[in-house]
């Protein structure tokens, strides 16, 4: 059996198209539990901040959120490790290196937030509670531009819901973020799992 | 000149191999997810996976997840090599 250059080009295009779809679906499937985990953390954190606004602050640091972020990072790394389970040894080494870079990225992000709060001095817990999701929304949107439109939609949803709560429901903003912000992350996680 | 690999060249099998090759080596794809990516019916996909398995290009693992039966497919080392040879063959045709 022989192939013409046109047929060969067509097959290569098919390979590229299917590989792109597969890689994207794979990325979505592994991101799904991470979205659900962080949605739950947002729910607990924002509900705690609303119900007990002065609880957990020691020397100006909000230990409730600090503990939740640490729990989230540990949970994320456990979920990430599940990703290694079936991989070949060389792919495990590569995945671990990527996981390490993600961990470092989270650390840089956390230090950036603390530094930003130290310089900008948010006027209320709600202001810092709005700033973080807006940054996260921007990160998702940028990821969406490069890695798959569903992340872009997630970024737009989180950003719009944060701004909506901030401007229209200022007195219930923290509760809004617990229910709608955390809830939307969980829904996005479930949506990605369906791909 | 190398010959066309007719096992891989069949359109559905080509999609299966492309989808599996896009994953990190050793990683598996669930049957239901593969069905959506390849856009094939269950019976059709099953038959083509069997052909690829018989050729030694994929391995199939069946287990239970959340109390439900789960079938996962993985590209074998031999399958990865055969697919790379197939792609090189196509590129060779384009480059004349």
Which range marks the domain in which residue A102 is found? 32-193
Residue B47 covered by a domain: yes
Check if the beta carbon of residue A64 is closer than 8 Å to that of residue A48: yes
Which of A2, A10, A21 is the best residue to mutate to test the B interface, defined by the most B CB atoms within 10 Å of its own CB?
A21
Which of A2, A17, A22 is the best residue to mutate to test the B interface, defined by the most B CB atoms within 10 Å of its own CB?
A22
Query: Measured between CA atoms, how close is A178 to chain B, in angstroms?
Result: 28
Residue B54 covered by a domain: yes
pLDDT exceeds cutoff 70 at B1: no
Residue A3 covered by a domain: no
Query: pLDDT grade, residue A80 (50/70/90)?
Result: confident
Supply the pLDDT for residue A60: 56
Q: Which of B94, B95, B50, B42 is nearest to A11 (CA)?
A: B94
Residues in A touching B18 (Cβ below 8 Å): 14-16, 18-19, 22
pLDDT exceeds cutoff 60 at B49: yes
CA A86 distance to own-chain centroid:
24
Q: Say yes or no for a CB contact (<8 Å) between B20 and A22.
A: yes
Residue B48 covered by a domain: yes
Residue A143 covered by a domain: yes
Interval A97-141: pLDDT, tens: 888 888 888 889 888 988 998 898 888 878 888 998 999 999 989
Which range marks the domain in which residue B64 is found? 27-94
Supply the pLDDT for residue A27: 86
Q: How many domains does chain B have?
A: 1
Q: Please, what is the Cα angle at A45 between A40 and A46, to 5 degrees?
A: 100
Q: How many domains does chain A have?
A: 1
The single residue listed with the structure tokens 């979920």 is A79
Residue B34 covered by a domain: yes
Residue B84 covered by a domain: yes
Helices (H) and strands (E) in chain A, counts: 7, 2
- Tell me which chain B residue has its CA closest to the CA of residue A90: B25
Residue A10 covered by a domain: no
pLDDT exceeds cutoff 60 at B55: yes
Residue B55 belongs to a domain with what CATH number? 1.10.10.10
Say what the pTM is: 0.77
- The chain A residues in contact with chain B (CB within 8 A) are 1-5, 8-9, 11-12, 14-16, 18-23, 25-26, 29, 86-88, 90-92, 94-95, 195
Residue A15 covered by a domain: no
Interval A5-57: pLDDT, tens: 999 999 999 999 999 999 988 888 888 999 999 999 999 999 988 888 766 55
Residue B50 covered by a domain: yes
Residues in B touching A20 (Cβ below 8 Å): 22
Supply the pLDDT for residue A40: 96
């Amino acid at each position: 059996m022989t192939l013409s250059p046109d047929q060969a080009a067509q097959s290569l295009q098919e390979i590229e198209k299917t590989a792109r779809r597969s890689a994207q679906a794979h990325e979505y499937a592994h991101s799904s539990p991470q979205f659900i985990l962080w949605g739950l953390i947002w729910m607990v954190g924002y509900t705690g901040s609303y119900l007990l606004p002065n609880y957990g602050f020691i020397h100006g640091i909000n230990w409730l959120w600090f503990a939740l972020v640490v729990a989230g990072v540990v949970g994320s790394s456990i979920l990430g490790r599940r990703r290694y389970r079936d991989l070949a040894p060389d792919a495990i080494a590569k995945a671990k290196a990527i996981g390490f870079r993600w961990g470092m990225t989270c650390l840089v992000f956390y230090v950036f937030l603390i530094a930003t709060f130290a310089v900008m001095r948010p006027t209320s817990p709600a202001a810092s509670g709005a700033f973080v999701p807006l940054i996260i929304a921007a990160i998702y949107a940028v990821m969406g531009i490069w890695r798959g439109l569903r992340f872009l939609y997630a970024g737009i949803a989180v950003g719009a819901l944060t701004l909506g709560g901030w401007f229209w429901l200022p007195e219930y903003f923290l509760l809004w973020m617990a229910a709608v912000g955390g809830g939307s992350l969980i829904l996005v996680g479930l949506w990605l799992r369906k791909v | 000149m190398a010959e066309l690999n007719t096992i891989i060249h069949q359109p559905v099998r080509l999609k299966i191999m492309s989808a599996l090759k896009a994953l990190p080596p050793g990683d598996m794809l669930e049957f239901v997810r593969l069905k959506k990516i390849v856009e094939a019916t269950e019976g059709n996909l099953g038959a083509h996976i069997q052909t690829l398995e018989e050729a030694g290009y994929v391995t199939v693992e069946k287990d239970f997840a959340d109390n439900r039966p789960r079938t996962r497919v993985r590209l074998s080392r031999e399958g990865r090599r055969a697919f790379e040879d197939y792609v090189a063959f196509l590129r060779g045709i384009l480059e004349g």
